[in-house]
């Protein structure tokens, strides 16, 4: 049977952020967590359930336009009054917004980006920020005063604490059963593997499906880090042939994705069968995925449905363990560091599930894979050498399906064009192309045409997202 993880996190002192249609709710929750107080974003409807928990020390209403006049908000506030929980009403707007009953402004400073700070009765406060002031020192100070002076929180939410708590939870849930994890080599699944292994040791088996679509050196790195360094039980399935055969002659990007997703499930399923009586599946689902796909997110806009390794739990009927269900990506990174994973793993650029297959325009062949893999390795190596790797969200090479004329010595050539892409992004939803230094672009281009056979031209992608996507397919 499919059982999802519990929705509340009862063990930690929590300050709840109630999303009232503001796009800043998540940022507020992050600000709270950066002050080492645990925070969750909930809808007004879910507040009651949360307030029943004694671990809730305070509530921050994150108000969107007109929230003060919204009738559904008043019942949330009544609840709050009856439970005598301290509250901070935060609206982020350039124009003055009205407040609901029970809150009042008592002063304003029109010449500062924080338009009005107010003190209310019964530990209820309201503040209006200009949007950019929310993350400023004064914005953070206001949130901190609320957390520590009003709610009397302690700074308990640290990576070490999160690990300890998570280990306890996992041990309690899993008992003596077995768990399985699909290791991709990405940050989330690597950190999950090490964390869950710490909790239940060899009751966890990781399955690493080698699709043949990984970046250069990635397979070796995953094996040496997770298996050799951390001693995690790991099954390495060499499925390269299977994937190549299935992808033979397929050019359409969505078909490639479906084929890879299905084949992945088939391989993974076979391995699970071999292991027998596995009860749990570990997934690296992040809090941002939960907020995005949950109705609980109230009126925050749904931006994208996330694409994990398609539908595993439904197929396998395993119970889910999602140790990062309450965590943001940067918190997972911090936990990974605390667990001893290297920066090479932690700071690694994101990589799509279907791998290099969606970085080859046209059919996936051995030759195409070799070109794009080598070109990609050069891009990454040079960007690292220039000290820019950690400032960039993603950088990579794409093998286009265009061939152009070149000249080598006296010979005319007619070979492939490789495109280089590098983007800045916060979360992959939007992205801006990186203004790489020209000298660096020159080195990358020279090396690719000289070192990668079959490439005679390199171009740089100067489009942002939107209208382009980050990947070419």
Q: Which residues bind ligand XMP (CB under 6 A)?
A: 257, 307, 350, 352-354, 394, 428, 465, 469-471
Distance CA 94, CA 113 (A): 9
Nearer to ligand XMP, 214 or 394 (CB): 394
39: helix, strand or coil: strand
Minimum distance from residue 95 beta carbon to ligand XMP (Å): 33
Are the C-beta atoms of 205 and 180 separated by less than 8 Å? yes
Distance CA 21, CA 301 (A): 8
Nearer to ligand XMP, 21 or 352 (CB): 352
Nearer to ligand XMP, 131 or 350 (CB): 350
Distance CA 446, CA 149 (A): 59
Token pair for residue 246? 């299935």
Minimum distance from residue 392 beta carbon to ligand XMP (Å): 12
Minimum distance from residue 282 beta carbon to ligand XMP (Å): 17
Minimum distance from residue 116 beta carbon to ligand XMP (Å): 38
Minimum distance from residue 422 beta carbon to ligand XMP (Å): 12
Distance CA 182, CA 180 (A): 7
Nearer to ligand XMP, 147 or 358 (CB): 358
Tell me which DSSP letter residue 326 carries.
T
Nearer to ligand XMP, 180 or 395 (CB): 395
Three-state secondary structure of 190-237: HHHHHHHHHHHHHHEEEEEEECCCCCCCHHHHHHHHHHHHCCCCEEEE
462: helix, strand or coil: coil
Nearer to ligand XMP, 284 or 353 (CB): 353
Minimum distance from residue 272 beta carbon to ligand XMP (Å): 21
Are the C-beta atoms of 208 and 237 separated by less than 8 Å? yes
Measured CA angle at 405 (ends 402, 408), to 5 deg: 130
Minimum distance from residue 288 beta carbon to ligand XMP (Å): 12
Token pair for residue 89? 């009403």
Nearer to ligand XMP, 100 or 353 (CB): 353
Nearer to ligand XMP, 21 or 354 (CB): 354
Per DSSP bridges, beta strands 56-63 and 114-119 are unpaired
Q: Which residues pair with 457 in a beta bridge?
A: 417
Minimum distance from residue 361 beta carbon to ligand XMP (Å): 13
Minimum distance from residue 354 beta carbon to ligand XMP (Å): 5
Distance CA 411, CA 418 (A): 20
Nearer to ligand XMP, 24 or 257 (CB): 257
Angle between helices 187-200 and 329-338 (to 10 degrees): 50
Are the C-beta atoms of 314 and 2 separated by less than 8 Å? yes
Are the C-beta atoms of 100 and 63 separated by less than 8 Å? no
């Amino acid at each position: 049977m499919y059982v999802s993880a519990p929705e509340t996190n009862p063990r930690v002192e929590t300050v709840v952020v109630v999303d009232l249609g503001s796009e800043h709710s998540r940022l507020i929750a992050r600000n709270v967590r950066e002050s080492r107080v645990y925070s969750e974003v909930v809808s007004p409807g879910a507040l009651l359930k949360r307030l029943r928990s004694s671990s809730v020390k305070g509530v921050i209403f994150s108000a969107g336009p007109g929230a003060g006049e919204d009738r559904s908000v008043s019942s949330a506030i009544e609840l709050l009054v009856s439970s005598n929980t301290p509250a901070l009403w935060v609206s982020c707007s350039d124009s003055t917004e009205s407040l609901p009953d029970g809150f009042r402004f008592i002063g304003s400073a029109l010449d500062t980006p924080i338009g009005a700070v107010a003190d209310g009765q019964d530990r209820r406060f309201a503040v209006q920020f200009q949007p950019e002031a929310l993350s400023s020192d004064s914005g953070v100070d206001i949130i901190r005063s609320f957390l520590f002076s009003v709610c009397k929180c302690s700074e308990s939410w640290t990576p070490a604490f999160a690990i300890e708590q998570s280990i306890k939870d996992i041990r309690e849930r899993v008992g003596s059963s077995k768990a399985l994890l699909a290791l991709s080599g990405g940050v989330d699944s690597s950190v999950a593997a090490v964390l869950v292994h710490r909790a239940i040791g060899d009751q966890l088996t990781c399955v690493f499906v080698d699709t043949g679509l990984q970046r250069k050196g990635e397979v070796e790195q995953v094996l040496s880090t997770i298996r050799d360094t951390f001693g995690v039980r790991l099954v390495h399935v060499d499925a390269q042939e299977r994937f190549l055969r299935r992808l033979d002659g397929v050019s359409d990007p969505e078909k490639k994705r479906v084929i890879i997703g299905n084949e992945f499930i088939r391989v993974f399923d076979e391995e699970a069968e071999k292991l027998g009586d596995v009860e749990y599946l570990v997934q690296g689902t992040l809090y941002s995925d939960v907020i995005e796909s949950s109705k609980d997110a109230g009126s925050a806009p749904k931006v994208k449905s996330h694409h994990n390794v398609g539908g595993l739990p439904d197929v396998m009927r395993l119970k889910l363990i999602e140790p990062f269900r309450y965590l943001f990506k940067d918190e997972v990174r911090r936990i990974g560091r605390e667990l001893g994973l290297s920066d090479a793993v932690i700071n690694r650029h994101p990589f799509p599930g279907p791998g290099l297959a969606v970085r080859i325009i046209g059919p996936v062949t051995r030759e195409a894979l070799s070109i794009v893999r080598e070109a990609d390795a050069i891009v990454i190596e040079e960007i690292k050498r220039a000290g820019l790797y950690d400032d960039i969200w993603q950088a990579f090479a794409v093998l286009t399906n265009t061939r152009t004329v070149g000249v080598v010595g006296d010979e005319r050539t007619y070979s492939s064009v490789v495109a280089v892409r590098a983007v800045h992004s916060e979360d992959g939803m939007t992205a801006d192309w990186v203004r790489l230094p020209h000298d660096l672009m020159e080195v990358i281009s020279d090396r690719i045409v000289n070192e990668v056979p079959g490439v005679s031209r390199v171009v740089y992608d100067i489009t942002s997202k939107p209208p382009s996507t980050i990947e070419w397919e």
